[in-house]
């Protein structure tokens, strides 16, 4: 690597290289988990932990990950990362390529606020996006069926649209795109009224339930959702969780494997119906897996590199998705959130 990375970025780079080298999942997950822990620490707390040698007292950080954090924090390339770069670096994209890809992104099409299960108000999420240089952000809080995530009833979504309209007047030229992350029901229908779906700028359709369904049933469910004229983006298509994650009210969600479905049929339908495949940048998701991303590229899909952010700092996670996009050769002009807002909205309409 040409220059050292911040601790969390160095850990994710290690995880990426381990995954690319087809190392065991538990080894990859260890570094992603540690990166997620570092994300929660402020600079002063990280300094204190390193100074007092209590970094490994934190759940999710062990001797190897801890050593990498200390070395990266000191401005060095971690020894573990240097070894991986020497062995596998030629198989991965250069950091400059990833930076160039990321610079082409104009916005994020999957963002949550405290109206559903996010932790911050809409304005704070928008201001963080502005700080990253984004031109727009799609606000995609959850739909009513996902009660665990405080999904928006039609009445609450109506009120949110009024709030967004007011914020857009105040934040122009930045634009908050109206949207929803809409649950895909068991029969493949979308979990919101036709009238409201027709009024939204961006609809991300995602499966959140019955994730272990038999492949044929899951395929039919996804095919109907992809074919729905309201669906713009197919969200985190396999539903996998690589590492544990904290949910509302202290609940802890365990890792889970991918859902099974006919990916070729689903991605072909995405091409036919003009539905983008999401490259989800959350560290615990990184969905789709690389092999499915390769397939989606080959079949001619369009993509949206999204963060699925639930807090302002998570909007900076797009680099994770860009790294994977560059790795599998996603053409930048097939990423819909590299487009100006006018072109994007013409496409979603």
Residues 311 and 174 in one domain: yes
Residues 27 and 129 in one domain: no
Residue 278's nearest CA partner among 298, 292, 265 is 292
Is the distance from CB of 260 to CB of 308 less than 8 angstroms?
Answer: no
Tell me what pLDDT residue 245 has.
Answer: 64
pLDDT of 1 higher than 50 = no
2 in any annotated domain: no
pLDDT digits (tens, 9 = 90+) for 172-217: 999 999 999 999 999 999 999 999 999 999 999 999 999 999 999 9
Residue where a domain stops, chosen among 55, 89, 123 = 89
Report how many domains make up the chain: 2
Task: Please give the sequence-ordered ranges of beta strands (E in DSSP) within 23-125, or none if there are none.
Answer: 107-111
**177, β-bridge pairs:** 138
Least confident range of 11-25, 95-109, 129-143, 324-338: 11-25
pLDDT of 101 higher than 90 = yes
323 in any annotated domain: yes
Range of the domain at 126: 96-348
Dihedral sign from CA coordinates of 237, 108, 313, 20: positive
Distant-in-sequence, close-in-space partners of 195: CB < 8 Å, separation ≥ 6: none
Least confident range of 159-163, 233-237, 244-248, 257-261: 244-248
pLDDT digits (tens, 9 = 90+) for 263-284: 999 999 999 999 999 999 998 9
0.85 cut: is pTM over it?
no
**pLDDT averaged over every residue in the chain:** 91
Residue where a domain stops, chosen among 39, 60, 89 = 89
- Per the model's pLDDT, the better-predicted residue between 68 and 311 turns out to be 68
Residues 107 and 167 in one domain: yes
Q: Which CATH number does the domain housing residue 271 bear? A: 3.20.20.140
**At how many degrees (to 10) do helices 154-171 and 122-131 cross?**
40
Tokens (6 digits) for 318: 């797009």
Tell me what pLDDT residue 152 has.
Answer: 96
Residue where a domain stops, chosen among 66, 89, 112 = 89
What value, to the nearest 5°, has the Cα angle with vertex 109 and ends 104 and 114?
130
């Amino acid at each position: 690597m040409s220059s050292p990375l911040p601790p969390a970025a160095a850990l994710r780079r290690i995880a990426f290289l381990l995954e690319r080298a087809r190392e065991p999942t538990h080894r990859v997950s260890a570094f992603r988990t540690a990166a997620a822990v570092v994300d929660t620490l402020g600079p002063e707390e990280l300094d204190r932990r390193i100074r007092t040698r209590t970094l490994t007292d934190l759940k999710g950080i062990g001797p190897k990950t801890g050593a990498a954090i200390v070395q990266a924090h000191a401005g060095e390339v971690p020894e573990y990362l240097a070894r991986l770069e020497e062995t596998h670096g030629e198989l991965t994209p250069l950091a400059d390529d990833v930076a160039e890809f990321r610079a082409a992104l104009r916005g994020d099409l999957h963002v949550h606020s405290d109206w559903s299960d996010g932790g911050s108000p809409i304005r704070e999420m928008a201001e963080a996006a502005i700080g990253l240089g984004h031109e727009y952000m799609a606000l995609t809080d959850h739909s009513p069926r996902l009660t665990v995530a405080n999904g928006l009833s039609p009445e609450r979504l109506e009120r949110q649209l009024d709030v967004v309209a007011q914020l857009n007047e105040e934040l122009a030229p930045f634009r908050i795109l109206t949207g929803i992350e809409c649950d895909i029901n068991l029969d493949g229908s979308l979990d919101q009224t036709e009238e409201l779906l027709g009024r939204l700028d961006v609809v991300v359709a995602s499966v959140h339930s019955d994730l272990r369904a038999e492949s044929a049933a899951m395929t039919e469910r996804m095919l109907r959702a992809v074919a729905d004229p309201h669906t713009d983006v197919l969200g985190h298509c396999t539903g996998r969780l690589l590492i544990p994650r904290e949910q509302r009210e202290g609940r802890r969600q365990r890792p889970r494997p991918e859902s099974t479905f006919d990916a070729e049929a689903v991605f072909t339908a995405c091409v036919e119906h003009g539905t983008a495949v999401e490259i989800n940048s959350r560290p615990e998701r990184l969905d789709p897996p690389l092999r499915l991303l390769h397939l989606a590229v080959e079949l001619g899909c369009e993509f949206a590199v999204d963060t699925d952010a639930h807090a302002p700092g998570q909007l900076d996670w797009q680099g994770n998705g860009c790294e994977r996009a560059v790795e599998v050769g996603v053409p930048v002009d097939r990423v819909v959130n590299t487009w100006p807002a006018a072109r994007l909205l013409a496409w979603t309409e």
